[in-house]
A and B are shown apart, each in its own frame.
Chain A
């Protein structure tokens, strides 16, 4: 059970980061087409739900972990921050034609890079597990 949950949790994290990589391409000037935007949204959404659901399930499954451990609360907070920043970016970036890059203002770019920061901090928290 532990290994299956860990696989699903880590797989979800990979999907989530894949979504972030595609959004990073948009922010760096790639064209925003409907299939690319849809793929990024699905990866970010499914990955995001999967990481939190399987992550909490893992914490409940292991006697060594408690749902109120500091590093788990920090992870949930970072997940919320990342999703908050991500929602703003998703709302603003609209699919256009395949020939030209999307015009994005600095606020959207800032929100995206903040999301990248939250996700990297989330990974650091998961690996180091401070206080565990």
Chain B
């Protein structure tokens, strides 16, 4: 596997780049969202609550699409996208990706409700929905770091 990584065919580089760039943007946006939402817990700040959800919408979603698209693309190039392949690191990657998508969608829906309340002038205090979204985002963020470990150490 080490030799494979070191002598990767050139055709795999672009999908790998798209996959890693997307994953980095996704992790960055999740981090921003988590920090902003945690800060908003204490102050009840409407701009920070909005920032937490806008970073999911404009950062995490595009990052997720790039990461997932790149993953499927490179798995296809490497012949790892068929049912006969049973590698732990691939399974961890796809599991985190699928679970993460659900968490992201739920966090966005909950976040959308919180931002709507703020826009209607009902914000200004720490909301339960923001706290739930913080938990979901944090779980996805930790799962992403586990996926980074799996992708780099490649346990069989």
Contact = CB atoms under 8 A, between A and B. Distances in A.
Interface of A: 2-4, 6-7, 10-11, 13-14, 17-22, 25, 30-31, 33, 35-36, 39, 43, 62, 64, 98-100, 120, 123-124, 127-128
B153 A21 contact: no
Contact of B20 (A3, A62, A123): A123
B128 to A, nearest CB: 20
Contacts of B51: 25, 30-31
Contacts of B36: 30, 36
Given A11-B145, A25-B55, A33 B48 contact: yes
B28 A20 contact: yes
Contacts of B16: 127
Contacts of B43: 98
Contacts of A64: 6
Nearest to A31: B47
A2 B35 contact: no
B31 A22 contact: yes
Contacts of A33: 39, 48
A36 B39 contact: yes
A10 B148 contact: yes
B47 A25 contact: no
A7 B152 contact: yes
Q: Which 7 A-B residue pairings sit nearest by Cβ, starting from the closest? A: A21-B28, A17-B24, A18-B28, A7-B152, A98-B45, A3-B153, A18-B31
Contact of A120 (B21, B45, B48, B59): B21
A62 B6 contact: yes
Instruction: Classify chain B: how many residues form its interface, as a range.
Output: 35 or more
Contact of A31 (B17, B48, B151): B48
Contacts of A43: 31
B148 A11 contact: yes
Interface in B1-57: 2, 6, 10, 13, 16-17, 20-21, 23-25, 27-29, 31-32, 35-36, 38-39, 43, 45-48, 51, 55
Given A17-B27, A30-B36, A127-B16, 7 more contacts: A20-B28, A21-B25, A35-B38, A64-B6, A98-B45, A100-B47, A128-B17
Contacts of B32: 18, 21-22, 25, 36
A3 B150 CA distance: 10
Contact of B25 (A2, A4, A6, A17): A17
A90 B144 CA distance: 27
B131 interface: no
Contacts of A11: 145, 148-149, 152
A17 B51 CA distance: 18
